[in-house]
Structure 1
Amino acid sequence: METFRFQPGETPVLLSIPHVGTMIPPDIAATMTPEGLTQPDVDRHLDRLYHFAPALGIGFLTALCSRYVVDLNRDPDGAMAQPGLDPTEICPLTTFDHQPIYQPGREPDQAEIDRRVGAYWRPYHEQLRSELRALRDRYGVAVLFDAHSVRSRVPRFFDGTLPDFNLGTGDGSSTAQPLVVRLMNVLSASERYSAALNGRLRGGFIIRSYGQPEENIHAIQLELTQSTYMDEDAPYQFRPDLAAEVKPSLERLLSVVVEWAWQKASGQRRAAYL
Structure 2
Amino acid sequence: MRPFEIAGTAMESSVAVDSSTREETTVTVAVELTERDEEFQLLDRLSAIARQESVSEFKLFSNKARNIGIEENQAFFERVIKSYRGKLRCYHHIQKSRETQHEIEAVHTALLVDSVLDPYEDCVTIIDGGEQKAKPVVKALSGLRDAIPSVTHCLKSETYYPQSLLADLVASYLSYRVHRGEYNYSNPLLRAPHAQHSGDRWGEAFSAMKRQSEQYRVLDLAELQGNSPSQRVQCWYQGGMARKDAEPPSSSSITPIIKLADKGFDDAKAELERLR
| Alignment TM-score, normalising by the size of structure 1 | 0.29
Q: Which has the higher contact order (CA 8 A, sep 6+)?
A: 2
| Alignment TM-score, normalising by the size of structure 2 | 0.29
Which of the two has greater helix per residue?
2
